[in-house]
Structure 1
């Protein structure tokens, strides 16, 4: 094949690629959620009064998700783990958490507003709030969930 024909062929591929990219770019939109868009729902797997809202994705399915949690004052989260790796950012209030398979309040670390933390998958942990509501965001790769070390600690099984 002569050089000129090869160049025309390459040029045609580049032009078509550019057109496809331009069409794809025209269909992109932000996944935008404002504070007025939030729809809070009870979260039965956490202490009574805990609420959640999904900001992105579906936490119950494979893929990226972001949720926001609102945990009432004086709540305790018994020893539990999550199947997925996740990161969290505290938005308001101070969250107290520690790693371990036995609750030991002397090990609790404070996570004040603005704190970023990485939570490994399948690691036992426990947490609590004190005298204020805590709001934080979690981003992870689903599906996610919560497993309690002791089944009797699971709020979904309590009457």
Structure 2
């Protein structure tokens, strides 16, 4: 009897939470793109779900042109990267080095652990989908590489 009461209580508590956030859809043409301050000019960012600057899950898209580079940096939390179109080159270390790294093609995935120093460069226009748990951010190894300080 006690188990039945507890299950009923937890089930009743869970339903309102699921009803509030159980399903979401976003069409690509419905995204709002902005120029993110943390990246050099040319990058565009769209929030798909959540808020990457706050606690909780987030999903964002990053669109960059061919020739775009992201200097060595870290993130305060793990980041999951899926290449939706184009390709993305990622390397590890304190300085961007295009002779090292791995190319991730459309449909590919990359995991970047919290605090891992890495960099990226793009040889073609690319759209990435990034997701993880916030708050997320970009911390450049060399402060002079940070576009927010220019």
TM norm structure 2: 0.87
Secondary structure at 2:99's aligned position in 1? Answer: helix
CA RMSD of aligned residues (A): 2.2
- Residue 151, structure 1, aligned to residue 143, structure 2: yes
The secondary structure found in structure 1 opposite 2:61 is strand
Q: Unaligned regions of 5+ residues in structure 2, if any?
A: none
Give the distance between the partners of 2:77 and 2:25, measured in 1 at CA.
24
The structure where helix makes up a greater share of residues is: 1
2:51 equivalent in structure 1: 58
Q: Which has the larger radius of gyration?
A: 1
In 2, the alpha carbon distance for the partners of 1:156 and 1:26 equals 40
Tell me the distance in 2 between the aligned counterparts of 1:22 and 1:41: 36
Q: Which runs of structure 1 show a deviation greater than 2 angstroms over 4 or more consecutive aligned residues? A: 13-29
5+ residue gaps, structure 1, are 1-6
Tell me: CA distance 1:27–1:44, structure 2 relative to 1, closer, same or farther (3 Å): closer
Q: Residue 77 of structure 1 aligns to a residue in which SS?
A: strand
Partner Cα distance (1:82, 1:19) in 2:
37
Provide TM-score, normalisation by structure 1: 0.83
Q: What is the deviation of 1:94? A: 1.0
Distance (Å, rounded) in 2 between the aligned partners of 1:82 and 1:89: 16
Number of aligned positions between the proteins: 149
- Between the aligned partners of 1:103 and 1:23, the Cα distance in structure 2 is 48
